[in-house]
Structure formats: C-alpha cells, structure tokens
Amino acid sequence: MLMIPGPTPVPESVLSALSRHPIGHRSADFSQILAQVFTDLRWLHQTSHDLLVLCASGTGTMEAGIINCLSPGDRVVVCTNGKFGERWAEMCDAFGLKAERISAPWGEALNPELLRAHLEADSQTPANQKIKAVILTHSETSTGVINDLETLSRHIKAHGALSIVDAVTSLGATQVPVDAWGLDIVASASQKGYMMPPGLGFITMSPKAWDAYKTAKLPKFYLDLGKYRADAAQNTTPFTPAINLIFGLQAALTMMREEGLDQIFARHARLKAATRAAMRALDLPLYVEDDAIASPAITAVMPQGVGAEQLRAHLKQWFDIALAGGQDDLEGKIFRLGHLGFVSERDILTAIAALEASLSKLGHSVKPGAGITAAAQIFLHSLS
Amino acid sequence: MLMIPGPTPVPESVLSALSRHPIGHRSADFSQILAQVFTDLRWLHQTSHDLLVLCASGTGTMEAGIINCLSPGDRVVVCTNGKFGERWAEMCDAFGLKAERISAPWGEALNPELLRAHLEADSQTPANQKIKAVILTHSETSTGVINDLETLSRHIKAHGALSIVDAVTSLGATQVPVDAWGLDIVASASQKGYMMPPGLGFITMSPKAWDAYKTAKLPKFYLDLGKYRADAAQNTTPFTPAINLIFGLQAALTMMREEGLDQIFARHARLKAATRAAMRALDLPLYVEDDAIASPAITAVMPQGVGAEQLRAHLKQWFDIALAGGQDDLEGKIFRLGHLGFVSERDILTAIAALEASLSKLGHSVKPGAGITAAAQIFLHSLS
C-alpha cells in the first residue's frame, strides 16, 4: 500500500490498460487515442493552450520548459523553499542561466511580496537585460507546502516575465487553472495526481511562451517542443511515444472525467483535512502548522519521542504500508504521508489506524482511536 | 499482429509484469530489480562498461550520447545511408557541432573505405581540431540495411575518434559485442530487440567516452550521464524511473537469458533468411539485394505491379497484420516487414501466407504456396 507522494496508487483499470498489447504508434488507431488524451489533459489543466506529452520524468519535462524559452546568460528568478526549488536552481546553472534565488525556509511558503518587490525593482532594467522568467514550484513535495501560485503569477504578469511552474504534485490534486491564472509554462508528471505509473511528462505552453521559443538559443532536439507542437496538431508525436503508458493514461483520464474536477479537488481537500486532524489528535507535530499553506497532496509530520524512520520501518514491516521519509536536511526527522491520486477516505483511515497501532507498539503514548475519530469527524462533516 | 520494426510483439509475461502495481522507486525492493536488470543488460550488450537506463525514446538516448561527450564547434563525422542517419546529422546541427557527412545511397551499406580514407586524411590535423566522434547507425530501420560496424569501428579506433552508435534495431537481434568491437557509446531503445513496449533507452559508455565527458561542454541536466552513472553504482536512478516499464524489462531479459544469446541471434538469422527466400519465390523484389548487408531485423520489399500501400492496407484489413510502409522518398514504394524481438518461425509463415493470399486477391500472379514453401525450406535446413 503506497502512501507516498509518488508513485501513487494506480487503479485496476489503468493497470489493465498498461498490459494491452502495443499497437503501431503511426496508426490511425493510436492517433485516435492521442486525440482523446490531448482533449482530456486540456480539460484537467483547464487550458486552451498547447499541451504536449513527453517520454520523460518530471525533471526532464521542467528542463523542456526552461530550454525552449531561454538563452544562455538570461536572467531568471528561481523561487526555492524545498528540494525541488533547489533542483531547478541547479538546472539553471547547468544551462548557463543567471539564476537569482528568492527563498523561504523549508516548511514555509514563498512570500509573494518578496517576489513582487524583486520584480518591481527590475522594472527599470533595460529590456534586453530584464529578468526573463520566474521558475517556481507549486506544491513542494519535500516539505508539503503549497505556494500561493495565483498571487505569485499575478506579480510575474505585472512584470512581464514568463512563469515556468513545477506543478508536479499539484496538478490533479488541486486547482491549477492554467489559463485563468495566466500561467505560461506548466510542467507535471504522470506518477502523481494522474493516478499513473511514472514515465510521462506533461507541459503546457502559452502563446507568450511560444513567442519566447522563437528567440530562445539553448540547444535542443529531443526536448524541442516546437517539434511536439507540430506533431500534436496531427495527433502524433515526433519521436516514438511510450505507447503502453499512453494506454494507461487514457484509462486514468476517463476515470477522472467521470469523477469530475470539483469532486477530485474536494476529495483531496477532505483527505488533507482528515490527515491533519488525525495527526493533531495523536499529538504528532505537523511539519507545516498553517493549514492555509499545507499541500493537498502530502502531509509531513515531525514526530517527537519516536523516530520517524523507526515508525516508517514499523508500518512497512507490520502493515505493508509505505510512507516517505525526509529528504536532505530532513532525513530521519520527518515522515511524509502522500494522499494524492487514487486515494480514498478508506485508505486514510487504514493508514491512520496502522499509525496508531505502530505508535502504541513503539511505546509512544496515544489515546486509542483518537486519530481515527478525528479523521472520521472530518469525513462526516464534509460528506453531510 | 505487429510485423513492423517497432513496436514489436510483446510476450505475455512482459505484458503481465507491466501491469503490476508500482512500488516506491527508492525502496530496497526496487533497487534489487534494478541490480538484476543492469546485470542482464550488460550480458546482452556483451560489455563490462557502464550501462545506463534512461526514461527516453531512442532519439533521446542518442542525444544523451552526443551531448555528454562533445562541445559546441566540435567536428564530427555522421555516416548516413537512411532516415536515421539523417536525423543524427540534424541533431548535430541543433547542437552546434560541425558535422561532415559520409553517405551511401539509401538501400546501400556504408563503404568502410570511405570512412577510413576520410579519417586518415584527418590524422595530420592538430589535435584540438581533429574529428572528435563518428556517429553511425548499425541497422538502418528505414531501408533494412545493416552496416559493417566491426570494420567501421576498427577504422574509428585507428584514428582515435569516439564511436557513437545507434544500435536501436540491431541490439538483441544480432551481434553487437560492445567490448570486443571497441564501441565507445552504444544507444538503443526498448521497443526493438528487447521485446518491450517503447519508453526506455539504454546506453553504454566506455572509459574513453567518460574521458571525453570530463571536458564536454554541451549543456545538460536530465540527460547528464554522470548523474546516472553515480546512481547506477547504488542501483538507483537520479530521476524517477519508468517503474512499470522496468518491471516489464526484467521479465523480458529473463526470457532472453533463458533462450541464450547465440540462440536469439540464430533465430533472427533464420527469420531473415526465410523472409528473403519467400519474397524471392514470390517474385517480390527485395529492396536490399545483397544478403550480406540485409538487416536481421527487417526486410524491405519493393513490389512491382501492385502498390506497396495497397498491399499493406489489404493485410491490415483482411488479416489484421500490420506491416510498415516506406519513409520519406520511399513512401508508397516499399513495405517493410519487421522480424525482430518476440517473433517466431510461425509468425513468419503466417505473414507470408497472408501476403500470398493478398497478392492473389489483388490480381498479382503468384504460384500458390511458393513463398511458404521457400520459407519452410529454410526452417527445415536450419533446424535440422
């Protein structure tokens, strides 16, 4: 039982689609599948922009966003408040971009005012030396913080820079209305809110992003999005696609359309609220205290008096439930419970019950049933 | 029924492995799977070099080979005798490499003497301006020609340049002994001889290739092979791997080890010989006349008096057998019958029987049973 922030649980219908015999990717049958997938992905991303599917991980997909719109020496702002923000800063270095960091401590949200002030100060810079893009992570998987993307995007638009957004753990779990928020480039990956195994990347490109593409000088071939755009218009791909993963994606998107966008987001909000209520009832300190900046995809917990790794090992051994550990500086200090994608109320109750039992077993004093009761209360309220 | 040069047919055990529920890619269980996969892949590639697995198509994997060892302005030789050679030349242009082409007409093999002379003439060039790499395609999927990689590699070694080899349709179908032939960089993809759906790329790097890596200046991050090498040593990957495709690969490699390398190559040789004998018996002109340069993976046929596309449409409609068409200039002129990966003698007999029936139906005079008889003769001989 996977309760980690990716790969997430995968429904039977998707697993079964994955095992269909491949068909030729240049056939009319496959083009028909791609056409449906493109339509459904646009619905999920709430966009009329180009939406392209890559055979790459989330990192490869973010790289595509960066190298298709920028040139060596371009100034960019990288917003970092966790491991993934740091990764995008490293990537900018690798491509010879001049990255200016706007940071918040791990576990805190980015302060939109800092970005606004930074960009306003840049407004007087001559056009050819201005900040070209702001790279930011919507939901920080390493800490369970969600940034205020809507406000951040407004400040970016006021300045005129491009927004390049890592929405890997937010897309499919919460609102990422690409067009309404005016997001230029949004990258995500299949093993998160899409209820799929990893292997596919998704990226949207606004008309402004395509304008930047015209003059972007970073070299590219496999990740040259212009090639994907031209072929997507014909419901095909420039290079051999991961055919079986596309079969799975088609099945997953069909399920998502049946559930409905609002229902999907409401479910994630319920799972988050129930998980957090349970942790509080069990006296397990939440790594992110403020509900308003807590991710709907993942909850990080910093247990006291019992080791995070000990707890994880116990849950794995006795209940076959996988929780994620902390990364980098947080290694051994937190555990992370993923509740995104194909996760139900029942799964949360199961995980909390196992957590309670493990805490008891490890000598941590808990009021029996306290976590379960708190979570169930949330479900009762939201379902009534 | 897929008789195209990729995706190829996929065995049941592989399809079934693809549909297993994903496990965490940072778990000990997954590392164990990766360890076995790395070992089996080295066996198949006959190499002790680093062998890395990417989440990318064959094109992305070839790009990794090129950008990890070269710098802008470097001189390279690109050998082209078909569509894929042309693609690597375009890729070199995209990365600012100075590509010198050595070409043979489509349907003919590269002349190793041309390469030898070209490289010898370069030997007097000052070291820092010398040709850095030779990029070549082993089996040209677009024409069904196999180049004499062993001899070509010998000339490259004599000069001192790196060899960067597209072995996409040769690996797993015929001998590509990476170490014995002294190949520096060899790229391939899962949907060919590996009996897998597409989505994974494989690349080997010789010690000399790693030397070049140290000074290579083309920018990279997602395809930075140094990251993959460091993580492969710990049986993990720098970025989220395509977990379910790795499950499938494990099953496919297990089948290959059970069959044995020599047996796999002998089977492909039989399928090629039988297919070619059948085409000759049916008076269907082979696009590549000379058996010695005909690919063991694919046979291209240029029918006269009946349209290649008409024939393909008939086989698809009446027998649900997919053959590939011609590409670029060969569109509408040839059909290509793939016989690589999970293909048996029975499949060849089936395809030929259907081809005979279609030829008759389309008014092409054929001696009934001639193709089947010729193919069966080959099987009889080789199995005795």
Any B CB within 8 A of A2 CB? yes
Partner-chain contact B63 A25, CB within 8 Å: no
Residue A5 near chain B (CB below 8 Å):
no
Sole residue written with tokens 């706007």 = A102
User: A197 to chain B: which residues are within 8 Å by CB?
Assistant: 22, 242-244
Task: Give the number of A-B residue pairs with CB atoms closer than 8 Å.
Answer: 168
Cα separation of A229 and A53, whole Å? 10
Chain B residue numbers with beta carbons less than 8 Å from the beta carbon of A57 are 55, 222, 239-242
- pLDDT tier at A383 (50, 70, 90 boundaries)? low
Two tokens at A319?
Answer: 């209940």
For residue B43, give the H/E element and its range. Answer: helix B28-45
Task: Residue B222: list chain A partners with CB under 8 A.
Answer: 56-57, 59-60, 63, 223
| CB-based contact A56 B222, cutoff 8 Å | yes
Measured CA to CA in angstroms, residue B251 lies from B13, B56, B363 at distances of 6, 20, 44
Q: Which of residues 178-217 of B touch A (CB under 8 A)?
A: 189, 191, 197-199
Domains within chain A, CATH numbers bracketed: 10-258 (3.40.640.10), 260-383 (3.90.1150.10)
> In which order are the strands placed within the sheet that holds A2-3?
A2-3, A322-325, A335-338, A298-301
Please name the residues between 280 and 299 in chain B that touch chain A, using a CB distance below 8 Å. Answer: none
Cα distance between residue A87 and residue A101, in whole Å: 12
Name the residue in chain B with its Cα closest to that of A57. B240
- The nearest alpha carbon in chain A to B71 belongs to A219
Cα B78 from Cα B98, distance rounded (Å) = 10
Place of tokens 């609002």: A262
CA distance A83 to A250: 31
> Residue A39: CB partners within 8 Å, gap ≥ 6?
none
Mean pLDDT (chain A, rounded): 96
Q: What is the predicted pLDDT for the residue at A384? A: 56
Share of residues in chain A with pLDDT > 70 (%): 99
CB-neighbour burial class of residue A175 (10 A; exposed 0-12, middle 13-18, buried 19+):
middle
Q: What is the ipTM of this complex?
A: 0.96
Dihedral, CA of residue B111, residue B114, residue B115 and residue B119, to nearest 10:
170
Dihedral class, residue B366 (left if φ above 0, else alpha if ψ from -120 to 50, else beta): beta
Q: Alpha-carbon distance B249 to B41, whole Å? A: 10
Chain B residues within an 8 Å CB radius of A7:
22-25, 240, 243
Point out the residue among B2, B219, B224 whose CB comes nearest to the CB of A24.
B2
3-state secondary structure A91-116: HHHHCCCEEEEEECCCCCCCCHHHHH
pLDDT digits (tens, 9 = 90+) for A99-154: 999 999 999 999 999 999 999 999 999 988 999 999 999 999 999 999 999 999 99
Number of other residues whose CB lies within 10 A of the CB of residue A214:
8
Whether the CB-CB separation of B202 and B53 falls below 8 Å is answered with yes
Query: B335-338 and B322-325 as β-strands: parallel, antiparallel, unpaired?
Result: antiparallel
| Gyration radius of chain A's alpha carbons | 21
| Angle subtended by helix axes A149-159 and A112-122, to nearest 10 | 10
Residues composing chain B: 384
Please identify which residue in the block is written with the tokens 């070199």.
B92
DSSP string of B332-382? TT-EEEE--SS--HHHHHHHHHHHHHHHHHTT----TTHHHHHHHHHHHHH
Place of tokens 């304008």: A211
Cα dihedral B362→B363→B368→B372 (10° resolution): -40
- Name the residue type at position B180: A
Instruction: Say if A77 is an interface residue toward chain B (CB within 8 Å).
Output: no
| Nearest-by-Cβ selection for B94 from A7, A199, A220 | A220
Q: CA-CA distance, A167 to A188, in Å (whole number)?
A: 5
The whole-angstrom separation of Cα B24 and Cα A120 is 43
Say how many CA atoms lie within 13 Å of B232 toward its Cβ: 22
Six-digit token pair at B330? Answer: 């060969």
- Token digits of residue A205: 């490109």
Residues of B in contact with A23 (CB under 8 A): 2, 7, 322
Give the separation between CA A9 and CA B309, rounded to whole angstroms.
44
What's residue A366's pLDDT? 87
In this complex, which of A222, A243, A245 lies closest to B7 when CB atoms are compared? A243
Quote the CA–CA distance of A144 and A108 in Å, as a whole number.
9
Quote the CA–CA distance of B76 and B66 in Å, as a whole number: 10
**pLDDT over 90 for what percent of chain A?**
96
Contacts of B336 in chain A (CB under 8 A): none
A317 interfacial to chain B (CB closer than 8 Å): no
Segments of chain B scoring below 50 in pLDDT: none
Chain B interface, mutation test: which of A2, A3, A13, A18, most B Cβ atoms within 10 Å?
A: A18
CA distance A160 to A42: 25
In A46-65, the residues whose Cβ lies within 8 Å of chain B are: 55-60, 63
Enumerate residues 6+ apart whose C-beta is below 8 A from A341. A8, A9, A10, A172, A173, A192, A193, A194, A195
Cβ B55–A324 below 8 Å, yes or no?
no
Question: Is the model's pLDDT at A310 over the cut of 80?
Answer: yes
Task: Kindly tell me the burial class for residue B251, based on how many C-beta atoms sit within 10 Å of its own C-beta (0-12, 13-18, 19 or more).
Answer: buried
Contact B191 A10 (CB under 8 A): no
Which of B22, B94, B222 comes nearest A7 by C-beta?
B22
Nearest-CA distance from B188 to chain A in Å? Answer: 13
Identify whether the C-beta of residue B248 lies closer than 8 Å to the C-beta of residue B197: yes
pTM reported for the whole predicted model:
0.96
Whether A374 contacts chain B with CB within 8 A: no
* Interface mutation target, options A55, A298, A336, chain B, most CBs of B under 10 Å: A55
In terms of Cα–Cα distance, which of A69, A32, A30 is closest to A225?
A69
How far from chain centre, in Å, is Cα A211? 26
Residue B226 Cα distances to A89, A90, B36, B212, B230, angstroms: 18, 15, 21, 12, 6
Q: What is the phi/psi pair of residue B69, to 5°?
A: -125, 0
Among residues B248, B178, B265, B201, which one has the least CA distance to residue B65? B201
CA-based end-to-end distance of chain B: 28
Give the DSSP per-residue string, A238-307: SS---HHHHHHHHHHHHHHHHH-HHHHHHHHHHHHHHHHHHHHHTT--BSS--GGGB-SSEEEE--SSS-
What would the pLDDT profile of A186-221 be if each residue is shown by its tens digit? 999 999 999 999 999 999 999 999 999 999 999 999
* Distance from the first to the final alpha carbon of chain A: 28
**Among candidates A27, A220, A243 on the partner chain, residue whose Cβ is nearest the Cβ of B198:** A243
The verdict on a CB contact (< 8 Å) between A10 and B22 is yes
Which residues in chain B have Cβ-Cβ distances shorter than 8 Å to A90? Answer: 221
Best B8, B26, B57, B71 residue to mutate vs chain A (most A CBs within 10 Å): B57
Smallest CA–CA distance from B237 into chain A, residue: A57
Instruction: Give the strand order in the sheet containing A50-55.
Output: A50-55, A200-205, A185-189, A162-166, A131-137, A75-80, A98-103
pLDDT digits (tens, 9 = 90+) for A175-188: 999 999 999 999 99
List Cα–Cα distances, B13 to B65, B251, B268, B330, B367, in angstroms. 31, 6, 21, 36, 39
